[in-house]
Structure 1
Amino acid sequence: MTLPTPILEPVADLTVFVATPIEAGQVTGLNSRGRRRIIPITGGKVTGQLSGTVLPGGADFQIVVSDTCADLDARYLLQLDNGEHVFVMNRALRRGSVEDIAKLVRGEPVDPAAIYFRCAPTFEVSSPALAWLTESLFVGTGARFPDRVEMRFFRVM
């Protein structure tokens, strides 16, 4: 028996504009392990198989676990060109050198190749035509810039 090797199908490119991060401080408790940072999402654009806009009002709820690594949990709403909505829950891991992560925190540009930024988005939809978004696994890659995050989502086939 030969098991199939997964293939990545490009689904969407996102540009997500962000506001100044809110540093909420060190968090404690059973499931907490770092500094809480919240980054408001102010809008954006989606292109590819999905096409539309990123609506303002979402946020990336980060736990900064060290000077080199952050656990990201972004939640935001897409409005597609046909008027349909897609709610995105995107878990990600971002890591890099101490120097490069410090530059990102200061809002300075960093070469995306120097940062490991991978994500696993999941979706909620109300349209039967978009049910395929809830019936497959997705992965992605991203890059943080001073005013935005750019991502590419792939469906695992």
Structure 2
Amino acid sequence: MKADPRLKDVGEIRTTHLLDMVVDLHARMPFGGGPFGRRVLFGAAGGTFHGPRLSGDVHPGGGDWALFAPDGAMTLDVRLTLRTHDGALLHMTYGGRWVTPPEIRDALADPEERYRIDPASYYFRTNPVFETGAERYAWLNHTICVASGYLVEGGIAYKVSQIL
């Protein structure tokens, strides 16, 4: 079949490193099974973020209202507040997917082992967006990002890239 003539070459999607972030988590709060799956809140207890253009702390109180499907895949629904090193507040939200192969699910459920598992053995991707009233960070209001997540002792870490 011939390609649609309306299609144009818009170039490849390029990214650049925005920040690395660790979110410390409270103990999980399971809501149980509902009409869409098993809901669990992973509440944010704090954390830090560092990048070439911004750094600071993750404010306690946000979290991930995760939804687990029957096949074990998790859909993320995250809202966090970040405070930059110079006092600006950033509202960060993201969805995403965390898909784990059945053969590593038992190890992921073990609190002593979960953060030792190679992140390349599972698919954990998100799409962060930001909102802020701070003029010096207003460029974030128009920025779309992609991130890879992985488990660390006491929480979750992300490598976040800005889409150019």
Q: 1:3 aligns with which of 4, 10, 13?
A: 10
What is the rounded CA distance, in whole Å, between the counterparts of 2:104 and 2:72 in structure 1? 8
User: How many pairs were matched up?
Assistant: 153
Q: Report what 1:125 is aligned to.
A: 132
Kindly indicate whether the alpha-carbon contact (under 8 Å) linking 1:24 and 1:35 is maintained by their aligned counterparts in 2: yes
Q: Report what 1:47 is aligned to.
A: 50
**Structure-to-structure mapping, 1:65-144, within 5 angstroms:** 65-107=69-111, 108-109=113-114, 110-144=117-151
TM-score, normalised relative to structure 1: 0.91
Q: How far is 1:19 from its partner?
A: 1.6
Query: Which runs of 5 or more structure 1 residues have no equivalent in the other structure?
Result: none
Computed over aligned residues only, the root mean square deviation of the Cα atoms, in angstroms, reads 1.4
What is the rounded CA distance, in whole Å, between the counterparts of 1:102 and 1:124 in structure 2? 37
Deviation per residue, 1:110-154 (Å, 9 max, x gap): 221111000001111011221211112111111023411010111
Deviation per residue, 1:16-40 (Å, 9 max, x gap): 1112111110112xxxx21001111
What is the rounded CA distance, in whole Å, between the counterparts of 1:146 and 1:45 in structure 2? 14
Matched residue SS, 2:139: helix
Kindly indicate whether the alpha-carbon contact (under 8 Å) linking 2:24 and 2:47 is maintained by their aligned counterparts in 1: yes
Between Structure 1 and Structure 2, whose CA radius of gyration is higher?
2
What is the rounded CA distance, in whole Å, between the counterparts of 2:37 and 2:106 in structure 1? 16
TM-score, normalised relative to structure 2: 0.87
What is the rounded CA distance, in whole Å, between the counterparts of 2:29 and 2:83 in structure 1? 26
Matched residue SS, 2:60: coil
**Structure 1 residue runs of 4 or more that deviate by more than 6 Å after TM superposition:** none
Identity in percent: 26
What is the rounded CA distance, in whole Å, between the counterparts of 2:162 and 2:20 in structure 1? 12
Q: Report what 2:39 is aligned to.
A: 36
What is the rounded CA distance, in whole Å, between the counterparts of 1:3 and 1:36 in structure 2? 39
